[in-house]
Structure 1
Amino acid sequence: MNITKEQIDDLNAVVTVAITKDDYQDKVDKILKDYRKQANIPGFRKGQVPLGLIKKQYGKSILVDEVNKLLQDNLNKYLTEEKLDVLGNPLPKQQDNFDWDNEELAFEFELGLAPDFKVSLDTKKPITRYKIVADKKMVNEQVDRMQKQYGKLVSKTEVSKNDEVTGTFKNEEEDIDNKATLELQKIKSKKSLEALKGKKVGDSITVKTKGLFKEDYLLSSVLGVSQEKAKDLDIEVNFTISEINEREPAALNQELFDKLFGEGKITSEKEMKERIKEDSEKQFEQQADQKLLNDVTEYFIDNTKFKLPSEFLTKWIQMTGEEPLTEDQANAEYAKSEKGLRYQLIEGKIIKDNGIQLQFEELKEFAKGFIRSQMAQYGQLDPKEEELDNIAARVLGNEDEAKRLSEQLMSQKLLNLYKEKANLKTKEMNYEDFIKEVYG
């Protein structure tokens, strides 16, 4: 067997694999003899079928199978040994007048080669790194929400501005008949608020659905309809009051601190606010980090210039899908995937140039950290190390989960690298301003 490569240009090559009869004949003969031992052909005893008849019936298909196995094994070995960085997979070239009866067979494969390029982490243009702070207003609002969540309901005889009013919404034409609780602080419509004030159990009012709430998503839940239906709903509904309550906030005392943070962890309102600020800013940091990762990614895609073997890749997409594509379909698929492919190459280059590796032990510790945070959400704040080890082993035993966690850990390593070496400028703001600036 002989394998040679013809370099077409920097991004394309053709590999020719020449196979002689000596490369495959022994294997083919052995399989034919095994077939003969097992063959059941009318008119012959088992194992006594003439070898010539076996060759006539099965010889060509066995030859093709064995040659294809040789091709696959040796072509992959060649690409590895020659350290050829190929994109997609080798594509067999159409060869007219190919004859399987020849003693010497030659097969040609097209290769698309990865481009050679450089990536500079020291970006020319500074990239914004957001630092989101939990300001005093946000912390105080969070304290208020916690007090209300753990407070108690006090029954009232008539509605005032901060109450929670339970009742039934009805509109026969729209088939609406749903019992729900309104928090008056979330109502936007001044007309509806005025109509509710002073009302008692058993009273009814008519409200317009459009612009009823400060947050539009609340309408679907109180009316018992889908978000899609509630989105443009502009009707009048009847609301009959069945219950009026005022939520009395929980006192800021040790009992509340223990419920929220665990026994003895927090002992004062000051410590509570410091903890809320700390926890909030940890969550904000995750959002800011994701924004930074996205922005650095976009920067590299836009500013790292290299060519791709686009013609080869389009042909590869056309030929290797579950179903063959037309040329136009393949061009469209390539256009959709090109940006992702470019970043895969850029990311791979950054990983290689900076010697970034994933070790199993650090992946295991990363998985344990993820598991620990999941357990904390369900009140398990101090799991034993043995328990974490066992769960991590099960998680990493799942191929899909192991891949997902590996990708997350690699993203974290890349993020740390960008924070260290990229040209970043820090911009500090509160969460509300961050949302406005980033998401409009």
Structure 2
Amino acid sequence: MNITRENIDELNAVVKVDIAKEDYEGKVDKILNDYRKNANIPGFRKGHVPMGMVKKQYGKAVLVDEVNKLLQEGLNKYLTEEKLDVLGNPIPKEQKDFDWDKDNYSFEFELGLAPEFEVNLDGLDKKVTKYNIVADEKMVNDQVEHLQKQYGKMKTKETAEEGDTVAGVFKNEEEGIENETSFELSKIKGKRNLNKFVGAKVGDTLSLKTKNLFEDDHDLINHLSVDHDRAHDLDVEVTFTINEINERELADLDQEFFDKLFGKDQVKSVTELKDKIKEDAAKQFQQQSDQQLMNDITEKLIEQTNFELPKEFLQKWIQTVGEKPLTDEEAVEEYEKSEKGLRYQLIEGKVVNDNELNVNFDDLKAFTSEKIKQQMAQFGQTDPSQKELDDIAARILSNQEEVKRLSEQLMNEKLLEFYKEKVKFEEKEVTYDEFVKAIYK
């Protein structure tokens, strides 16, 4: 077998694979001899079928199969040994006059080559903002009140006010609706609907329209007992008869309340409670801030790292890789959708390789064990043994899908820490509302 390469340009090449008769003849003859020994053909004893008959019946299929095996093995070995960084997969060139009855064969493949480029992290300086999100006083106070409501007691009332919970029955005989339910008035959409409830008393029957009744249309599924598809388009009159009105009294900010939230004597004052809420919020906000930072870095790297891609090759390759072939127009459209992602894959790969950020098994095992430990802590298991962690990690890492998922998470963390260390960001302290406005402006 002989393999040669012709470079068309920096991004495209053609590889020619020549396979001679001596490359495949021995393997083909061995397989045909095995067929002959085991063939059951009427009129011949087993093992005594004429080789000519075996070749006529099986020879072409065996030849094609063995040549294709040699071709794939040789091509893969060549790409590895030559250290060619190819995009997509080699595309076989069409040969109109190909003849399997010849002894020697030549095959040609088009290659798309990855471009050479450098990633300049210095160019990101002051172009990316690192948001430090803090919980402001209003957010902390709102969370305190939410927790007081959550752990407070229900008090029955005669007249409804905003924030109350009402229980009753929705009805519409023609639509077959009759369902007993309860809900907080905060779920009602719009002042017009809410005003029908405010001031209403136990025993009152309200007339309502289902369209835009709740903030979330999916609430109609539970409160009217209708199916999902019907809930989205439902626009009918219903009545709601109030059977009960309840107000949730706020729990007292005392030690019993603090212990219910965080465990005995972990928090001993309102100040400590607010500090704890701020601390927990900071952890949650950090994840959002980090994700946004990663998104912004990705966008900037794609924007400032310029290189050409073998566009025509990739469009041709995209036509062949799906379940069904794409038209030229469909392939162009698909390429345009995926080009940005491909560019970042190449940039990320360059950063990873140049800075030796690769994930090894020990890294992955330690990362998995830490994730397990965090999850166990959420369920009160704060001190698992190393053997427990190792056993669970081993089960998880025996699943290839989990290995892929966790490896991607770990690589993302390594990249983020690398960027935090190497790039000089413009840091900005913001409230959560300010963060949302800045991101979605």
**Fold shared by both chains (TM-score > 0.5):** yes
Pair 1:46 & 2:46 matched? yes
TM-score normalized with structure 1 length: 0.91
Matched residue pairs, number? Answer: 440
Select between 80-89 and 15-24 the one with higher mean Cα deviation.
15-24
Matched with 1:410 is 411
**Structure 1 residue 170 corresponds to structure 2 residue 171:** yes
Contact 1:126 1:423 in 2 (8 A): no
- TM-score between both structures, scaled by the size of structure 2: 0.91
1:246-286 per-position Cα deviation (integer Å, ceiling 9, x unaligned): 21222223332232223343233222221111111111111
* Matched residue, 1:83: 83
Instruction: Name the residue aligned to 2:313.
Output: 312
Please list, as runs of the form range in 1=range in 2, the aligned pairs for 1:20-419 lying within 5 A after superposition: 20-124=20-124, 126-172=127-173, 175-184=176-185, 187=188, 189-190=190-191, 192-207=193-208, 221-224=222-225, 237-419=238-420
- CA distance 1:62–1:197, change in 2 (3 Å): closer
Distance 1:227 1:96 in 2: 56
Alpha-carbon distance in structure 2 between the residues aligned to 1:151 and 1:55: 87
Q: Distance in 1 between matches of 2:18 and 2:265?
A: 77
What is the CA distance between 1:213 and its match in structure 2?
5.9
The 10-residue stretch of structure 1 (384-393 or 209-218) with the greater mean CA deviation from structure 2: 209-218
**Structure 1 residue 224, shift from structure 2 partner:** 4.5
**Paired letter, 2:279:** E
**What residue in structure 1 maps to residue 422 of structure 2?**
421
Aligned counterparts of 1:323 and 1:210: Cα–Cα separation in 2: 43
Moved more, 286-295 or 197-206: 197-206
One-letter amino acid of the counterpart of residue 404, structure 1: R
Cα distance change of structure 1 residues 344 and 197 upon mapping to structure 2, 3 Å threshold: closer
What is the CA–CA distance in structure 1 between the aligned matches of 2:315 and 2:194, rounded to whole Å? 61
- Which amino acid letter does the alignment assign opposite residue 181 of structure 2? A
SS at 1:324 equivalent: coil
Larger mean CA deviation between 242-251 and 377-386 belongs to: 377-386
Distance, in Å, in 2 between the alignment partners of 1:215 and 1:135 is 28
Any idea what the Cα deviations from partners look like across 1:187-208, whole Å, max 9, x if unmatched? 5655555554454321223345
Offset, 1:345? 1.0
User: Given that residues 204 and 241 in structure 1 are in contact (C-alpha distance below 8 angstroms), is that contact kept between their aligned partners in structure 2?
Assistant: yes
Structure 2 unaligned runs (5+)? none
**1:10 Cα shift?**
0.5
Structure 1 residues without counterparts, runs of 5 or longer = none
Distance in 1, matches of 2:383 and 2:391, equals: 15
Aligned match of 1:3:
3
Structure-1 separation of matches of 2:436 and 2:225: 30
Q: Could you say if the C-alpha distance between residues 388 and 261 of structure 1 is closer, same or farther in structure 2, counting changes exceeding 3 Å?
A: farther
2:122 match: secondary structure: coil
- Which amino acid is the alignment partner of residue 14 of structure 1? V
Cα deviation, 1:17-38, whole Å, max 9, x if unaligned, reads 1222221211111111111101
Once residues 112 and 189 of structure 1 are traced to their aligned partners in structure 2, the CA distance between those partners, rounded to angstroms, is 58
Please give the alpha-carbon distance, in whole angstroms, between the structure 2 residues aligned to 1:68 and 1:232.
57
Q: 1:160 to 1:272 in 2, by over 3 A?
A: same
Deviation for aligned residue 1:182: 3.8
Amino acid aligned to 2:60? K
Which deviates the most, 341-350 or 49-58? 49-58
> In structure 2, what is the Cα distance between the partners aligned to 1:168 and 1:9?
75
Q: Give the direction of change, closer, same or farther, for the CA distance of 1:140–1:38 in structure 2 (3 Å limit).
A: same
Hey, what's the Cα distance between the residues in 2 that align with 1:211 and 1:104?
74
